[in-house]
Structure 1
């Protein structure tokens, strides 16, 4: 495994057309430490879990970071998370976010230390050791499924998988990325929001 960090960005064609992918990729390119970029396109409308998994399987660096194609990283996002991992010995580091166009769905979790006995949602914009991530992988859960007392998508299942695999999970209590909410969010599903065929909105801000 090579040293360093690869940022995996899954996307569908609408994100290329409406400019959101360009914004996400630009934020990766502006990182204050060297990173690799791994794009993964949802050509067959399989959804975010399958697409993210395809990108993850190509990663050859020690660390993997994830970014959804309609969000963006602060320039020092990866640098801060790497420093946290090195200081704490973490295998999985999750920061926090600022929200544009909506509200924080998990406000009580910001700044609260991770507790293995009481896991909670973290979002997927994390830094994780690639070996653990590739072992756990991403799988789209059944609609409406509840795990660990919480309903969530593939990111929640992935977090619980990392915990079960023995990962040391640490919260970095800083807002290091922007979570854009908009009327065309797809929530990782191929039939929703701007992932619907022919959908060209929203425009890049």
Structure 2
């Protein structure tokens, strides 16, 4: 692998995540990665939500690949290395790993280890590796009209981003390893303003 950054990691956050230290835990997990990376943090100053904040971060990326991490989560130190290796091996445009859950339970246990099927798309979370040009082509919007995910949830910007990548012809591949920690708890905002610690005073 080259010595320069191959991937940028975009972390959207709202002010409470800086105040309570979660943002710095997420940033530290990126700094410990075994491959060079460029970190892009984007503050949601106006409580617009994760979709619009991620979109602003996406527009700052200059590397071939990009990854996303929510500000209350953290990557294992080989997370990016494993995903880049999988992308190269599988000639993929979009790679999603799996997670361990802290403070809750896995809401999608049926999808871990199941190979991606274009004919039966499902939730992947947004902690993925994706080609930057593909991500720019698809972009992030607030929850849009479209089919709901098959797990009974209402879907959101993550789900519609995945559907957009699929519609754009992306090769989506599952890396069946738990390479990051998804923190659940009362502060979890699910990327939406007005929920959890994203509530304005």
TM-score category of the 2 structures, normalised to the smaller one:
over 0.9
**Pairwise CA distance, 1:184:** 1.3
Q: Provide structure 2 residue ranges, at least 5 long, that are not aligned to the other structure.
A: none
**What's the RMSD between the two structures over aligned residues?**
1.3
Look up the match of 2:62.
60
Q: Deviations over 1:32-74 (max 9, x none)?
A: 0100000111011110000010000110100010000000000
Q: How many residues align?
A: 195
Counterparts of 1:11-26 in structure 2 under 5 Å?
11-26=13-28
Alpha-carbon distance in 1 for matches of 2:72, 2:94: 22
Alpha-carbon distance in 2 for matches of 1:85, 1:43: 34
Counterparts of 1:50-199 in structure 2 under 5 Å?
50-141=52-143, 147-150=147-150, 151-198=154-201
Q: Secondary structure at the match of 2:169?
A: coil
Please report the TM-score for the alignment, with normalisation by the length of structure 1. Answer: 0.92
Alpha-carbon distance in 2 for matches of 1:31, 1:4: 12
Please report the TM-score for the alignment, with normalisation by the length of structure 2. Answer: 0.94
Moved over 4 A (4+): none
Q: Provide structure 1 residue ranges, at least 5 long, that are not aligned to the other structure.
A: 199-205
Look up the match of 1:43.
45
Alpha-carbon distance in 2 for matches of 1:91, 1:109: 19
